[in-house]
């Protein structure tokens, strides 16, 4: 058993923590995805699709070539990301602005635009019947039965509050707007944050590959996971730069964008309390750091809780947990879909207490994570155990979508890179301390 576990860990390290196999794996999958979505010419035409596929292939070849030469690796990766992600995204946005058709736009991004439009007309985004908006005519809903998304907005308020000023300005100036532009800017800031991390280039390279070359993120289509992940990247950068309060604010922002960050918030709070004496923080500094972990969520959610608490709870909690009559059907690659496939549950609309299963599996892991953080109160421990607990909760929940897999892959690589960077710093510190020792007489 130990030998098998050791071999598995060695394989993971070989594939996930080496630039060459990582860019081959993620880049190859992205190339296949772009060829499938665009190269066939079904959505934006054969010529643009062929160009996107060709550019992705050239970018991947260039990144592999530069890795082999050992020169300009990060620049070549930037070119690959530009060809494989930015060009398709801008092509889809341009196609929409020209024709008015949101082809291949994610329904969550489209609904976020409707939520902003509702708020600007003094309607509660969480009490809105989206079946009465243009979302009902969205191409994936036109010929289907009424989807739960038409009755619920499942994302926290900051998801539409962040792009709201840009949306309002575009409307006031009579300009077209696409929320994916805000997501792409956020992705650019996340990339800048990763590049600025004081780590070896290999670790930063791997993080960039996992963030941009995993097609399950659907960045050109407008998945909003980048908001949550970008905030966490900013928090890691701030912590590495010895700005603990800014790091707490970053994790708090991640929680305000997506509840996935809850476990990172809890474990970081434990780390702050445990490390207060070692870091020499005052009680005021500790209290302020703990407060900013929750401030972004409280400040953004409180107005909507006050406005319509029942609608807010139903949209963001009940419909996802499966306790609402119009909940999302079971979908994804987790335990819930396995139970349906094995006919333990009669179908994807079945009611089942997945919350109890999540608690039974996740709470003991969270307790173990707290224990590990208390024993070793450092950021890599928080990232690693936050990812482990999140994976357990997501896998045993009602939904386990493909973008959840991408989130977990990136978080695992980010935590692994953080751990390796910390080990490198300890080794360097030990070497320098030994070098300063006085010579024996």
Phi, psi (deg, nearest 5) at residue 400: -145, 75
Is residue 344 domain-resident? Answer: yes
What CA–CA distance (Å, rounded) separates 248 from 238? 9
What CA–CA distance (Å, rounded) separates 261 from 229? 9
Is residue 257 domain-resident? Answer: yes
Phi, psi (deg, nearest 5) at residue 399: -120, 140
pLDDT category at 333 given cuts 50, 70, 90 is: confident
Is residue 68 domain-resident? Answer: no
Residue 247 has pLDDT above 50, yes or no: yes
pLDDT average, residue stretch 29-47: 89
Q: Which helix (H) or strand (E) holds 332?
A: strand 331-332
Residue 17 has pLDDT above 80, yes or no: no
Can you give the pLDDT at residue 7? 63
Residue 284 has pLDDT above 70, yes or no: yes
Which residue range is the domain that position 382 belongs to? 105-432
Is residue 14 domain-resident? Answer: no
Residues facing residue 331 across a β-bridge: 399
Is residue 17 domain-resident? Answer: no
Is residue 80 domain-resident? Answer: no
Residue 391 has pLDDT above 80, yes or no: yes
pLDDT category at 231 given cuts 50, 70, 90 is: very high
Can you give the pLDDT at residue 145? 66
pLDDT average, residue stretch 107-131: 91
Residue 324 has pLDDT above 80, yes or no: no
Residue 437 has pLDDT above 50, yes or no: no
Residue 12 has pLDDT above 70, yes or no: no
Can you give the pLDDT at residue 318? 84
pLDDT average, residue stretch 406-425: 87
Residue 427 has pLDDT above 70, yes or no: no
Residue 94 has pLDDT above 70, yes or no: yes
pLDDT category at 10 given cuts 50, 70, 90 is: low
> Three-state DSSP class for 369?
helix
Is residue 65 domain-resident? Answer: no
Is residue 98 domain-resident? Answer: no
CA distances from 193 to 130, 206, 238, 241, 431 (A): 36, 14, 9, 11, 29
What CA–CA distance (Å, rounded) separates 395 from 299? 30
Average pLDDT for the chain: 87
Domain count, the chain: 1
pTM: 0.91
């Amino acid at each position: 058993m130990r030998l098998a576990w050791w071999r598995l860990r060695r394989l993971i390290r070989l594939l996930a923590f080496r630039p060459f196999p990582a860019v081959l794996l993620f880049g190859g999958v992205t190339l296949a995805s772009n060829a499938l979505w665009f190269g066939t010419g079904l959505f934006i035409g054969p010529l643009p699709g062929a160009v996107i596929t060709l550019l992705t292939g050239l970018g991947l070849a260039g990144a592999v070539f530069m890795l082999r030469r050992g020169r300009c690796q990060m620049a070549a990766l930037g070119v690959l990301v530009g060809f494989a992600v930015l060009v398709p995204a801008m092509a889809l946005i341009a196609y929409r602005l020209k024709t008015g058709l949101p082809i291949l736009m994610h329904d969550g991004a489209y609904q976020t635009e409707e939520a902003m439009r509702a708020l600007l007309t003094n309607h509660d985004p969480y009490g809105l019947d989206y079946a009465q908006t243009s979302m009902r005519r969205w191409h994936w809903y036109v010929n289907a039965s009424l989807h739960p998304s038409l009755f619920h907005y499942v994302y926290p308020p900051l998801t539409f509050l962040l792009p709201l000023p840009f949306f309002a300005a575009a409307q006031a100036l009579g300009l077209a707007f696409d929320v994916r532009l805000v997501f792409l800017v956020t992705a650019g800031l996340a990339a800048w944050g990763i590049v600025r991390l004081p780590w070896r280039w290999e670790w930063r390279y791997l993080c960039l590959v996992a963030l941009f070359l995993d097609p399950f993120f659907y960045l050109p289509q407008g998945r909003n996971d980048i908001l949550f992940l970008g905030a966490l990247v900013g928090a890691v950068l701030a912590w590495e730069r010895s700005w603990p309060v800014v790091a707490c604010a970053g994790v708090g922002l991640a929680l305000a964008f997506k509840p996935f960050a809850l476990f990172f918030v809890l474990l970081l709070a434990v780390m702050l309390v445990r490390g207060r004496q070692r870091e020499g923080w005052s009680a005021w500094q500790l209290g302020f750091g703990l407060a900013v972990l929750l401030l972004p969520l409280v400040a953004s959610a409180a107005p909507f809780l006050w406005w319509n608490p029942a609608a807010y709870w139903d949209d963001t909690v009940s419909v996802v947990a499966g306790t609402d009559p119009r909940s999302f059907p079971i979908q994804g690659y987790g335990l819930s879909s396995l139970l349906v496939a094995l006919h333990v549950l009669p179908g994807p609309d079945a009611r089942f207490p997945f919350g109890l299963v999540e608690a039974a599996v996740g709470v003991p892991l969270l307790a173990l994570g707290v224990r590990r953080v208390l024993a070793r109160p450092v950021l890599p421990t928080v990232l690693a155990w936050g990812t482990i607990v999140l994976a357990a909760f997501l896998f045993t929940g009602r939904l386990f979508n493909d973008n959840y897999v991408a989130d977990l892959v990136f978080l695992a690589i980010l935590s692994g890179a953080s751990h390796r960077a910390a080990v490198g710093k300890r080794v360097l510190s030990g070497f320098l301390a030994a070098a300063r020792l006085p010579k024996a007489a």
